[in-house]
Structure 1
Amino acid sequence: MSQPAAHHDRPTRPSPGPGPHDDGGGTPHGHRHGGPHAHHHDPHDRCGRHGGPHHRHGADDQAELLDLDAEVLAEHLADITGGLPLAAPPRRILDLGCGTGAGTFALLDRFPDAQVTAVDASAAHLDRLTEKARVRGIDGRVRGLRADLDDPDWPDLGTPELVWASASMHHLADPGRALRAVHALLAPGGLFAVVELADFPRFLPADAPRERPGLEDRCHAVRAAFHAEHAPHRGADWGPMLADAGFTPAGTRTVTVHIDGARHPSVGAYALGSLRRLRQGIDSLLDAEDVAALDRLLDTDGPHSILRRDDLAVRTERTVWAARRTG
């Protein structure tokens, strides 16, 4: 079991780092960033890349990591869905950028009379979500829909009373247009919840690994520099953007996430998968000795494997911006 979440009702400033970890949100669109590092990506990024066996393998790894993310952070996600400022339990919910269903299933669990339309650009993620729903016997309550949220013309998404967007809005080339589209389709009085992690989670103590202390901080610094150029909406304060789109603010809440690895059996696997994807995105930008130290952590057969450590923890913050359509 994870430690209880600490709640802070305070204004949230833009993060100085690269932005949110993708915690069960999904693939709103394909990557559209150019430049020499166009193939570097957020280690938890669900932005699609199409074609070839490497894409299929990468998609499978990504889906497994999303499932681990949902498992490890389940308690915090349930806490957030339980704290949404709703006037009444919603019956029609829209999950934008649903990934493999972390938010979808948390919402279905929280609101047993609701149906969810789950939208993602990844057919593989939607297939996985649909199969999970079938296994749980709730496939009649879930409609999977493939769509690119950066397209100006969205498919018919109904008139939901709750729209949920977890770690998906920051991917968009024009998030303001998407926010206005949500405002237009949301039922009068309905709620829009934008959920973002403050940053890629930390897993290691500051003095680890012994031969290269501070390795994780340096990895984060490199990642932040890249995303400052290529993902300008990461770490954004969504409050002003929601107001500009016509929403009435309904509160901002930040939940501190600190999960001791000794208390959750999947933290080691979650850290391994996360740092593997982190290495894929930044290995060419790191000092060679840092890359070597990172590789030692990721070598599951080696003596320095991250799976052998007993000092891991998941540390980050998750922020929820709630806004209402009042007109």
Structure 2
Amino acid sequence: MNQAHTHTTHHGVSHGHHLEQDTSDQAEILDLDAEVLAEHTASITESLPLKTAPGHIVDLGCGTGAGTFALLDRFPDAHVTAVDTSAEHLQRLRTKACTRGVEERVRTVQADLDDAWPDLGSPDLIWASASMHHMAHPERALRTVHDALAPGGLFAVVELAGHPRFLPENAPKERPGLEERVHAAADRRQAEHMPHRGADWGPMLTAAGFTVEDERTIAVDIEGDRSEAIGRYALGVLQRIRSVIADRLSPEDLCALDRLLDTTSPHSILRRDDLTVRTERTVWATFRA
């Protein structure tokens, strides 16, 4: 996610995304995430320090295919093995592959990466976007990735700093700073379940036998007037957060949040013209030593 974090089964692990809601709603947010952040994802694939173009790529925790299709576009001679725990996400990915005419270049594998790993072959590039922090035992997962990579293969880890922000700091008018309080409540809840969220993966990658070639943090700041998808993206993310932190908000904040999420209201977030997408992505590009 790429992505709007929730706590359902996703990204190839049983922990999946951070907030509980059904897979269809989650898939819609993943699709919006892919659309809104497409340029940033493409720029990351462009900057990967590969010595030669990969022939076989594995997308760990592929979701509905944001990374898969960015990688297929970037490397037109490659094929991708897309791994996820959600059958619905994988079906969406296959449908997209057919629509794009690249179905012969994509293989989907349903697997829980906190359980038994599938046979991934010896890929030249393994991509893990917003998936590693979901692992119950990330050190074990990193060693498995290291052993699966072809000699000299590249492992790219991409992590978001957290849920994206959308509203100005002084919004909404009746409860300024609402979004930060909502995110703070979500962060506290998620810290209880995912201690590796926001981790520095560099030392863990080195300990697993990787050589970190490049580490960079990319600021994301997208103006909302560029795409109506940003309004729907903001709505979906905040709805999912609300579903699990409502009991942690003050009555006043919960009421203000519900006004934003009411799509029939003139105060709906869909009707705001001041939205932006603000977050950070950190990328670790590593080679098998």
Task: Please tell me the TM-score bracket, short chain as reference.
Answer: over 0.9
Q: Is the 8 Å Cα contact of residues 261 and 311 (structure 1) preserved in structure 2?
A: yes
What is aligned with 1:5? none
Q: Is the 8 Å Cα contact of residues 29 and 148 (structure 1) preserved in structure 2?
A: yes
- How much does 1:22 deviate? 4.3
- How much does 1:30 deviate? 1.8
Match of residue 266, structure 1, among 229, 232, 236: 229
Q: What are the residue-to-residue correspondences of 1:122-271 with 2, within 5 Å?
A: 122-151=86-115, 153-271=116-234
Corresponding letter in the other structure for 2:14: G
What is aligned with 1:90? 54
Does residue 1:27 correspond to 2:3, yes or no?
A: no
- How much does 1:21 deviate? 4.7
Query: 1:235-255 CA distances to partner (integer Å, 9 max, x unpaired)?
Result: 000000000101011110111
Stretches of 4+ moved more than 4 A in 1? 20-23
Query: 1:36-57 CA distances to partner (integer Å, 9 max, x unpaired)?
Result: xxxxx724x7xxxxxxxxx7xx
Q: Is the 8 Å Cα contact of residues 22 and 168 (structure 1) preserved in structure 2?
A: no
Corresponding letter in the other structure for 2:240: R
- How much does 1:31 deviate? 3.3
Aligned counterparts of 1:149 and 1:291: Cα–Cα separation in 2: 36
Corresponding letter in the other structure for 1:31: H
Match of residue 265, structure 2, among 302, 310, 319: 302
Q: Is the 8 Å Cα contact of residues 12 and 110 (structure 2) preserved in structure 1?
A: no
Higher relative contact order (CA 8 A, sep 6+): 1
Aligned counterparts of 2:270 and 2:91: Cα–Cα separation in 1: 30
Q: Is the 8 Å Cα contact of residues 22 and 197 (structure 1) preserved in structure 2?
A: no
What is aligned with 1:66? 30
What is aligned with 2:284? 321
What is aligned with 2:74? 110
- Secondary structure, aligned partner of 1:230: coil
Corresponding letter in the other structure for 1:29: V
- Unpaired runs of at least 5, structure 2: none
- TM-score, L = length of structure 2: 0.95
Q: Is the 8 Å Cα contact of residues 42 and 281 (structure 1) preserved in structure 2?
A: no
Aligned length in residues? 285
Corresponding letter in the other structure for 2:223: D
- TM-score, L = length of structure 1: 0.84
Q: Is the 8 Å Cα contact of residues 130 and 144 (structure 1) preserved in structure 2?
A: yes
- How much does 1:155 deviate? 1.6
CA RMSD of the aligned region, Å?
1.7
- Secondary structure, aligned partner of 1:154: coil
Q: Is the 8 Å Cα contact of residues 139 and 204 (structure 2) preserved in structure 1?
A: yes
- Secondary structure, aligned partner of 2:44: helix
Aligned counterparts of 1:42 and 1:260: Cα–Cα separation in 2: 26
Aligned counterparts of 2:193 and 2:145: Cα–Cα separation in 1: 25
Q: Is the 8 Å Cα contact of residues 21 and 167 (structure 1) preserved in structure 2?
A: no
